[in-house]
């Protein structure tokens, strides 16, 4: 994977559009992946924010380790106005989010002029922006149509009286650094095909082992034992047990790696947070 996917022209166009969109909102809701809050953050985003309110959602919290998510919330509160966990799999999160949005709407200034609270979801690819927009659209009162003079060609969705959401998300470039490629790959934020899936799958297996969660792999893939296993050895065993074989009967490591990453992304490998706030 090279930085070529985000060639400068495309990147600056996306950032310019986002900068424009941000001018039209009161609140930017940044989605981070609760399993990789560091790697799923784009530090350049904050420079575009200017004085807008900034809410961070540690999204897909259902897939992350709950204790670690709590510590990440403290970390996120050091750069955002507010941070909350979120998941579409449990309604309590939506209730809390709506509570926060209501508060923001009440505190809109100036108070005398009635206008809606406007907001936008932003985040890196695959973090869940469209899912959240759809969640709100399904509850929406009306689509409000273009509002001249605000953001050209953009639609606002009135999600309830006094609250409007921009119907297109702000897409942020993933942070491409040496220590972010594996985390971003395993959560599916980078296009498959351009990256070394095998290396990322080995890194993921190593993370399970290091966190004492190797049993999850053992059970899922019906392995005999994982005592003192190295990631390479486990990948081999998983390939064998799952029938990821070349015609000559040897394990197809690439295929086995793809299978593990898919299983992780589909949420069948339990909860696992891949980054700790103490490391950043
Ligand atoms: N575990 C879990 N998965 C979620 C949650 N919300 C969304 N997803 C999954 O995340 C994946 C990506 O969701 P999208 O809404 O398409 O993400 P996006 O940010 O719009 O992605 P791009 O359009 O590629 O930028 C989908 O497979 C969703 O089902 C959640 O709360 N928990
Ligand atoms: Mg989307």
pLDDT digits 0-9 by tens, 115-132:
899 999 999 999 999 999
**Distance, CA of 162 to CA of 112 (rounded, Å):** 14
Whole-number Å distance, alpha carbon 110 to ligand 1 midpoint, is: 36
233 has pLDDT over 70: yes
pTM of the model: 0.92
Q: Residues 141, 52, 175, CA angle at the centre, nearest 5°?
A: 100
SS3 state of residue 245: strand
Task: Check residue 4 and report its DSSP letter.
Answer: G
Instruction: Kindly report the number of other CB atoms within 10 A of residue 197's CB atom.
Output: 22
Tokens of 80: 């955002």
Cβ(175)–Cβ(42) under 8 Å? yes
SS3 144: strand
What local confidence, expressed as pLDDT, does residue 1 receive?
44
CATH number for the domain running over 3-171: 3.40.50.300
d(CA 149, CA 49): 20
229: confidence class by pLDDT, cuts 50, 70, 90: confident
Report how far ligand 1's centroid is from the alpha carbon of 143 (Å). Answer: 23
Helix, strand, or coil here: 10?
Answer: helix
What was the pLDDT predicted at 202?
98
Distance (angstroms) between ligand 1 centre and the Cα of 230 equals 31
Q: Output the pLDDT for position 218.
A: 96
Q: Which ligand is nearest to the CA of 127?
A: 1
Q: Is residue 64 a contact partner of residue 165, using CB atoms and an 8 Å limit?
A: no
Where do we find the tokens 């273009």? 146
Task: Identify whether the C-beta of residue 42 lies closer than 8 Å to the C-beta of residue 174.
Answer: yes
Distance CA 45, CA 187 (A): 21
Domain locations along the chain: 3-171, 196-279
Helices (H), 196-271: 197-210, 214-220, 231-241, 253-265
At 151 the pLDDT is: 47
Note the pLDDT of residue 146: 46
| Minimal-distance CA residue to ligand 1 atom 10 | 128
Pick 196-279's CATH classification: 3.40.50.620, 1.10.1580.10, 3.40.50.2300, 3.40.980.10. Answer: 1.10.1580.10
pLDDT digits (tens, 9 = 90+) for 166-203: 988 999 989 999 999 999 999 999 987 778 999 999 99
Binning pLDDT at 50, 70 and 90, where does residue 147 land? Answer: very low
What's the first-to-final CA gap in the chain, in angstroms?
A: 23
Specify the pLDDT at position 153: 64
Q: Which ligand has an atom closest to residue 272 CA? A: 1
Kindly state the tokens that stand for 157.
């969705």
């Amino acid at each position: 994977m090279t930085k070529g996917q985000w060639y400068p022209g495309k990147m600056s166009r996306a950032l310019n559009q986002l900068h424009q969109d941000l001018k039209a909102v009161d609140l930017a809701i940044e989605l981070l992946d609760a399993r990789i809050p560091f790697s799923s953050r784009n530090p350049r985003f904050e420079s575009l924010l200017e004085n807008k309110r900034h809410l961070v959602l540690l999204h897909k919290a259902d897939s992350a380790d709950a204790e670690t998510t709590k510590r990440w919330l403290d970390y996120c509160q050091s750069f955002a106005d507010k941070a909350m966990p979120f998941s579409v799999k449990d309604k309590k999160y939506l209730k809390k989010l709506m509570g926060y949005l209501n508060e923001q709407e009440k505190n809109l200034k100036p108070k005398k002029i009635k206008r809606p609270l406007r907001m936008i979801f932003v985040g890196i690819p695959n973090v869940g922006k469209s899912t959240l927009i759809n969640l709100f659209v399904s509850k929406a009162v009306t689509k409000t149509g273009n509002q001249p003079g605000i953001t050209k060609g953009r639609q606002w969705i009135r999600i309830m009286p006094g609250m409007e959401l921009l119907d297109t998300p702000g897409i942020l470039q993933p942070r491409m650094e040496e220590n972010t490629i594996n985390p971003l790959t395993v959560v599916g934020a980078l296009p498959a095909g351009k990256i070394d899936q095998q290396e990322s799958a080995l890194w993921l297996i190593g993370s399970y082992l290091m966190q004492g969660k190797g049993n999850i792999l053992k059970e899922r893939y019906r392995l005999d034992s994982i005592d003192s296993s190295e990631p390479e050895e486990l990948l081999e065993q998983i390939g064998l047990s799952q029938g990821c074989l070349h015609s000559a009967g040897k394990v197809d490591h690439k295929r086995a790696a793809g299978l593990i990453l898919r299983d992780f992304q589909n949420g069948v490998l339990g909860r696992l947070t891949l980054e700790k706030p103490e490391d950043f």
